[in-house]
Every structure is written in structure tokens, then in C-alpha cells.
Amino acid sequence: MVEAERTRARIVQAAVDDASRLGLEGLTIGSLAERLGMSRAGLVGPFGSRDQLLEAALEHAGAIFRSAVVTPLADLPPGRRRLERLITAWVGYLVDCPFPGGCFVTAASSELDGRPGPLREQLRGIVTYWHEHLAAEVAAAQDEMAGPHRPPREVATALIGLSMAANQEIQLFEDSSAGARALKSMRRAAGLD
């Protein structure tokens, strides 16, 4: 059981790494099996199908993001300080991304936004969670700051857009100053500066 779980985790991590560079649809069982030194059947076996492997990879990528950006804030009550730390952690995640191809969710969003199916719906759930979580963090911070304020969902949308632009500048342009600009822009959009 333990070895089976380790094998499954190793496959999922390799799938996440490859899909971050190639896209979820670009990930092939053959190339992944070859890279891991496994048979195709041995690779797909723990999941049942390629689609279920992709679903596991997408879920794992979401968990990596949450552990880098959301979980470290558990010790802080909602409010301005927590939103400041969240934005700093988020930009740090983009700059020192755990995925070879940059933010996995950003890339998957571009890849899947016009493709109906289970992966798109799963991704939509991950992104919806983040929008709602972020809007709640913004609302809690606004409660501690003098107004007037833009609606929290509007601020959350602006922050997500800025993060996607920063990811592009970091990954596509290899711009080492993009993180500092993103941090400044996101703080301003959140009303922190």
C-alpha cells in the first residue's frame, strides 16, 4: 500500500511538471512512462485512465498553490495584515514557482477556458474557490481600512489579472523585475498602498 501510494504520488508529480510545460492536453502517457521508466499500463493503472491521471495532476497543482499561498496564513486572523502577507506569498510563488512552466492554474486556464469537459469543470472549481477566498480576504482587510472601497470581488478580479500578467512577464519575457512590479501593483489594487 505504501509503495503504491509513493508510485502514484511520483506519477502525479511528474505529470504536473510535464503538464506545466506542455499543457494538460500535451501530456502523453508514452512520454511520461518513458521518463519515469514505467510501462504505459503501469503508469495509468493507479488512476484507471489518462483523464483521471490529468484530474489528479490538476488537483495536486491546486494543492501546491494553496500550500504555498494560503496555508502559511493560517496563524493570522483575517484582515489587512493577512491580505498583505497573502499578496507577498502569491508574488513569491510566481517568482520562485514550483512548476517548471510557471503558474499551473494560469496556464491551464488559458488552455481549458474554451474546452468543455470534466477537466475544465474541475479547473473552474479551483479558480472559483480562489476568487471567493480572495474576495473574502479583501473584504476582511477593507473592514480595517478607511474607505471608500471598491467591491471585494472587483478587487479580487484585478488581483488575479495582475498575477496572470506577472506570470507572463516572469515566464515569457524572463523579466527579473516583474515580481517587484507585480507586488507594487497588487498592493495598490488591494488598497494597501
* Confidence at 120, pLDDT banded by 50, 70, 90: very high
Domain holding 169, by residue range, is: 2-189
Interior/surface letters 131-158, b for 16+ CB within 10 angstroms, e for the rest? eeebbebbbbbbeeeeeebbebeebbbb
pLDDT single digits (tens) 152-189 = 999 999 999 999 999 999 999 999 999 999 999 999 99
Q: Look at residue 72 in the predicted model and tell me its pLDDT.
A: 96
Average predicted confidence (pLDDT) for the chain: 95
Q: Look at residue 193 in the predicted model and tell me its pLDDT.
A: 92
- For the residues 129-144, what does the mean pLDDT come to? 97
pLDDT single digits (tens) 20-71 = 999 999 999 999 999 999 999 999 999 999 999 999 999 999 999 999 999 9
Q: Is 59 helix (H, G, I), strand (E, B) or coil?
A: helix
User: Could you tell me the CATH number of the domain that includes residue 90?
Assistant: 1.10.357.10
Q: Which residue has the cell 488575479?
A: 160
Give, as one character, the DSSP assignment of residue 72. G
Residue pair 55/117 in contact by the 8 Å Cβ criterion: no
Q: Look at residue 192 in the predicted model and tell me its pLDDT.
A: 97
Residue pair 101/171 in contact by the 8 Å Cβ criterion: yes
Q: In angstroms, rounded to a whole number, what is the distance separating the alpha carbons of residues 60 and 123?
A: 12
- For the residues 105-112, what does the mean pLDDT come to? 93
pTM of the model as a whole: 0.92
Contacts of 59 (CB under 8 A, 6+ apart): 122
Q: Look at residue 1 in the predicted model and tell me its pLDDT.
A: 79
Domain count for the chain: 1
